[in-house]
A = this chain, B = another copy of it.
Amino acid sequence: MKEPKQKNTSFRHRLHEIIYEADTPSGKLFDVVLLIAILASILFVMLESVQSINDKYGEFLNVAEWVITILFSIEYILRIVSVKKPWNYVFSFYGIIDLLSTIPKYLSLILVGTHNLAALRALRLLRVFRILKLARYISESNRLLIALRNSRAKVAVFLFFVLILCIILGTVMYMIEGSENGFTSIPRSVYWAIVTLTTVGYGDIAPGTPLGQLIASVIMILGYSIIAIPTGIVSAEMTKTQVHTNTQACPNCLKEDHKDGAEFCYHCGNELNE
Contact = CB atoms under 8 A, between A and B. Distances in A.
A141 B156 CA distance: 10
A13 to B, nearest CB: 32
A70 to B, nearest CB: 23
From DSSP, what is the main secondary structure of chain A's interface residues?
A: helix
A238 B233 contact: yes
Interface in A213-249: 213-214, 216-217, 220-221, 223-225, 227-245
Contacts of A197: 224
Nearest to A192: B213
Contact of A221 (B128, B134, B140, B198): B198
Interface in A169-213: 171, 174-175, 184-188, 190-191, 194-204, 206, 210, 213
The size bracket of the interface on A is: 35 or more
A102 B236 CA distance: 41
B125 A138 contact: no
Interface in A137-160: 138, 140-141, 144, 147-148, 153-155, 157-160
B154 A144 contact: yes
Interface stretch (A21-29, A46-54, A78-86, A104-112): A46-54
A228 B239 contact: no
Interface of A: 42, 45-47, 49-51, 121-122, 125, 128-129, 131-132, 134-135, 138, 140-141, 144, 147-148, 153-155, 157-164, 167-168, 171, 174-175, 184-188, 190-191, 194-204, 206, 210, 213-214, 216-217, 220-221, 223-225, 227-245, 254-255, 257-271, 274
Contacts of A160: 134, 138
Given A232-B231, A240-B243, A225 B155 contact: yes
B267 A269 contact: no
